[in-house]
Amino acid sequence: MGSLLSMSADGHPDRERAQLSTSQTPGNAHTLGLMQGEPLDVLIVGAGISGISAGVHLRRECPERRFEILEARDRLGGTWDLFRYPGVRSDSDMYTLGFSFKPWTERKSIAEGPVILKYLVDTVREFGIGQRIRYGQRVVEADWRSADSAWTVTIRNAADDSLRTVQARFLFMCCGYYRYDHGYMPQFPGVAQFRGQLLHPQQWPEHLDYAGKNVVVIGSGATAVTLVPAMADQAAKVTMLQRSPSWMFSLPAVDRIAMALRAVLPLRAAHVLTRWKNVLMAIYIFRASRKRPQKVGAFLMKQAAKELPPGYDLNTHFKPHYNPWEQRLCLLPDADLFKSISAGRAEVVTDQIETFTPQGLKLKSGAELKADIVVSATGLELQLLGDAKLSIDGVPVVGSGLVNYKGVMYGGVPNLAVTFGYTNASWTLKADLTSLYVCRLLNHMRDKHIKVCTPDASGATELQPWVDFSSGYFQRAAHLLPKQGTVNPFKLNQNYISDLLALRYGTVDDGVLRFAG
């Protein structure tokens, strides 16, 4: 998912965020479809990157469609408003994590969380979709009723906990894939006796004071490698405690090629070229990792060796037991983690926890770590469709029984699209393609006077897990997730170019998508 916490001029990050908030408040479901009898054409669920992309594309490509965006929280931004831990930043470059229709203009391509949030707020204002967003509205159930050729959606209002329903001809789920109320917290032995503070980055306490304190960050993923260098400047000592290493990839925070292109080309042209440069580079690295993992691994280890002290134990702390891109690479802007270690402000310990103690943690090696604060950067808890219950004519839809169609829809489920970004590239690349495909589909249905579209997944064979990543958060939720086939359109592509050809330029009426009405 996943950057220094930007401060306002007087040094208050919360004030900075408050200036980014919209004027709308929970319970503002007034106007348009929520209070009218006529069904909405499209109901978008979620006002993060995916929902904003969907709203902008719908307004541009399908201007006649009546749509609304429901957001369960009281502000837009999704991940980029939720996460507020020190150092929160993008884990991919902003030329691809940014939208295709709005160039990224900031200097840093690896951007801080508040800067990304401002970009999203600016996008909503610039493209005029703010009045379509209804805050404090959580979708709890959605039932497709064949007699109406529409979804009946049950919504809980955060302001008074009341329920209401709205009908929508098309349901577009843009609510991500992880729980917002809590992250994954293992059952650590002995934790009750710990006298310090244990917390998860997803629920970061406001105004946490860690200056001069000993901090242990448990984990080795994107969140951990972001937190450690960000906290190291103020903490007495920051230790990253990992059971096993992750692959680290260092990139400059400022893309020099992008800056050079901006200097000689119009902004949009420079943005497009930089975006494609980064797309192709990501595809190349991923393919090379799968075809020549040892060569890519050696390159990554060489990168680390250049930044770490001579004689550092690379094999123990930075050589994983899996090949590159079997899990997501951890991005280090300007090698910040390595530099913090070299400067003596941070360290990495590769070991397992035997038990918490009153003063910290005892490890299975017998070593002990003193800690005033322990951060459990142990990952996310996944959920499907924002935890909403789906049914078709009253019959519940079981998530693990669903089969992928083009990475956008599910076999047997009418008039439903879901945004699920790439695991090996920026989320927004797939979000934009998904939004464009939905617009193409809606326009096709309008032109052909069609009410219902349903993928037929009967041709999908040799069903496989939704993703082939070995990351813990996917493995823990594998029993909840849909399946994919081995051939298109049932295979979940992790390749932007393949999806661009299929979703942007491929035939809508492909013989697999069934139309009725």
Q: Please check whether residue 431 is in contact with residue 53, taking contact to mean a CB–CB distance below 8 angstroms.
A: yes
Mean pLDDT (whole number) for 361-387:
94
pLDDT score for 476 = 77
Domain spanning 13-181+382-516: CATH superfamily:
FAD/NAD(P)-binding domain (3.50.50.60)
> What does the block give as tokens for 400?
């693990």
**Least confident piece of the model among 179-188, 217-226, 309-318, 501-510:** 179-188
Is the model more confident about 1 or about 113? 113
pLDDT score for 456 = 97
Mean pLDDT (whole number) for 393-404:
95
Q: Which long-range contacts (CB under 8 A, 24 or more apart) does 232-236 make?
A: 232/340, 232/343, 232/345, 232/346, 233/345, 234/210, 235/210, 235/211, 235/345, 236/212
**Facing residues of 165 across strands?**
154
Q: Please check whether residue 243 is in contact with residue 350, taking contact to mean a CB–CB distance below 8 angstroms.
A: yes
Same fold, 13-181+382-516 and 191-376: yes
**With 90 as the cut, is the pLDDT of residue 3 above it?**
no
pLDDT score for 178 = 87
DSSP count for the chain of H helices, then E strands: 14, 25
Q: In whole angstroms, what is the distance from residue 513 CA to residue 488 CA?
A: 13
Q: Name the pTM for this structure.
A: 0.91
SS3 390: strand
pLDDT score for 6 = 30
Label the pairing between strands 330-333 and 389-392.
unpaired
Q: What percent of the chain has pLDDT over 70?
A: 92
Q: Please check whether residue 20 is in contact with residue 118, taking contact to mean a CB–CB distance below 8 angstroms.
A: yes
Q: In whole angstroms, what is the distance from residue 146 CA to residue 167 CA?
A: 12
Domain extents in the chain: 13-181+382-516, 191-376
**With 90 as the cut, is the pLDDT of residue 341 above it?**
yes
Q: Which fold has domain 191-376?
A: FAD/NAD(P)-binding domain (3.50.50)
pLDDT score for 199 = 96
Q: What does the pLDDT look like over 185-213, one tens digit per residue?
A: 999 999 999 999 999 999 999 999 999 99
pLDDT class of 182 with cuts at 50, 70, 90: confident
Q: Name the strand (E) or helix (H) holding 256.
A: helix 256-264
Write a three-state SS string for 131-160: HHEEECEEEEEEEEECCCCEEEEEEEECCC
Q: What does the pLDDT look like over 240-263, one tens digit per residue?
A: 999 999 999 999 999 999 999 999
Mean pLDDT (whole number) for 28-55:
80
**Least confident piece of the model among 9-23, 266-280, 369-383, 411-425:** 9-23
Q: What does the pLDDT look like over 22-36, one tens digit per residue?
A: 444 334 444 444 445
pLDDT score for 234 = 96
Q: In whole angstroms, what is the distance from residue 116 CA to residue 111 CA?
A: 7
> Which of 180, 330, 170, 363 lies closest to 245, judged by CA?
330
Q: What does the pLDDT look like over 463-503, one tens digit per residue?
A: 998 877 666 766 777 778 899 999 999 999 999 999 999 99
Q: In whole angstroms, what is the distance from residue 217 CA to residue 225 CA?
A: 9
**With 70 as the cut, is the pLDDT of residue 12 above it?**
no
